[in-house]
Amino acid sequence: MARETKFERFQVRQMTGPIGAEITGLDLARDRSPETMADLKRAIHRYHVLAIRDQKMELEDVHQVRAALGPFSGNPVHEPIDGYDDLMILNREPDETGKVIGEDWHMDLAWLAKPPGITMLYGHDVPPVGGDTCFTSLEWAYRSLSPAMKAMIEDFVVVHSGKGVLGQQYGSVKMRADVHKIASFEVEHPLVCKDPVTGERYLFISSVIDRIKGFTPAETRPIVDYLFKVATRPEFNCRLRWAPGTLGMWLNPCVMHTAINDYPGYRRTMYRSTIEGWTPIAASGTRVAA
Ligand code: SIN
């Protein structure tokens, strides 16, 4: 399915068939006009992952782009940096070992009633090799299911929980003092959702699914494991190769992503912010109470 769309304010090159686009010819330190922001939003709902190349941004610029795109989503997990409630730094030192933050397929803050709509990550210090981020399209995953499977899951409601998020400490990334509160967070989201802008259907799945409503945990597991396996198939993926000055953005509820832990001996420093999203909308029109 060709998904090329024309944009007047920048050039777009698709990364893979389903997902991802590189954006060139745009300087966000100079142009944050409503027209450019509207085009970026159109592009992100189209391609789901954008790699905006050759930016020169300090913390203030990342903050300004976030503000131009929309309100901050909030982040009950990570400590913001001094002076900016909406920014955090993901830093990995050359001698750090163990898991990197964001390793393993996940959606950001899926256990909130309104998960972030857009996550932004700016490559300040990027390893010369490795440190990519992989993304997968939950729209294409949904499309690949059989009509019988689509009919079966159409009205499923899934409970996502903050329980599993705690206990994961990643090197120098700082957690909020009150982070323990998220263990009690639980939210119901429809499994088959629609993008409020394009109307396209996607599978709303995450790594923190506790159960399908009305199903036992034993009944839930094989269904969710199967959908997770489909959703992470390589043909639905793209790989964002960071360079210094790349501003990445992804349409968080429509993708899952995973950081790649393959750059021992190198520093990686990324500035991160998140933009308010929407209450997930059931594709069937069935409402789920928030
Ligand atoms: C994240 O999961 O938000 C971080 C991804 C990355 O650092 O590549």
pLDDT exceeds cutoff 70 at 168: no
Nearest to 75 by CA among 32, 17, 45, 115: 115
pLDDT exceeds cutoff 90 at 167: no
Q: Is 169 within 8 Å of 203 (Cβ atoms)?
A: no
For ligand 1, say whether the CB of 108 is within 6 Å of any of its atoms.
yes
CA atoms of 181 and 185, how far apart (whole Å): 7
Which of 5-9, 64-68, 263-267, 269-273 bottoms out in mean pLDDT, i.e. has the lowest? 5-9
Q: Whose CA is nearest to atom 4 of ligand 1?
A: 102
Identity of the amino acid at 47: Y
Q: In degrees, to the nearest 5, what angle opens at C-alpha 118 toward C-alphas 202 and 48?
A: 45
Question: How confident is residue 165, by pLDDT bands cut at 50, 70 and 90?
Answer: confident
Which of 3-12, 63-72, 73-82, 211-220 bottoms out in mean pLDDT, i.e. has the lowest? 3-12
Per-residue pLDDT, 177: 85
Q: What is the mean pLDDT of residues 217-223?
A: 95
For ligand 1, say whether the CB of 274 is within 6 Å of any of its atoms.
no
pLDDT exceeds cutoff 70 at 178: yes
Q: Whose CA is nearest to atom 1 of ligand 1?
A: 102
pLDDT exceeds cutoff 50 at 87: yes
Question: What ligand 1 atom has the least distance to the C-alpha of 259?
Answer: 8
CA–centroid distance, 146 to ligand 1, in Å, is 31
Mutate to test the pocket of ligand 1, among 78, 165, 270 (most ligand atoms within 8 A of CB): 270
For ligand 1, say whether the CB of 182 is within 6 Å of any of its atoms.
no
Question: What ligand 1 atom has the least distance to the C-alpha of 131?
Answer: 8
Average pLDDT, the chain: 93
Query: In three state form, how does the secondary structure of 41-85 look?
Result: HHHHHHHCEEEECCCCCCHHHHHHHHHHHCCECCCCCECCECCEC
CA atoms of 263 and 100, how far apart (whole Å): 10
Q: What is the mean pLDDT of residues 19-29?
A: 97
Question: How confident is residue 6, by pLDDT bands cut at 50, 70 and 90?
Answer: confident
Question: How confident is residue 290, by pLDDT bands cut at 50, 70 and 90?
Answer: very low
CA atoms of 40 and 44, how far apart (whole Å): 6
Q: Is 22 within 8 Å of 51 (Cβ atoms)?
A: yes
CA atoms of 63 and 37, how far apart (whole Å): 14
CA atoms of 135 and 149, how far apart (whole Å): 24
pTM of the model: 0.94
Identity of the amino acid at 199: G
pLDDT exceeds cutoff 80 at 29: yes
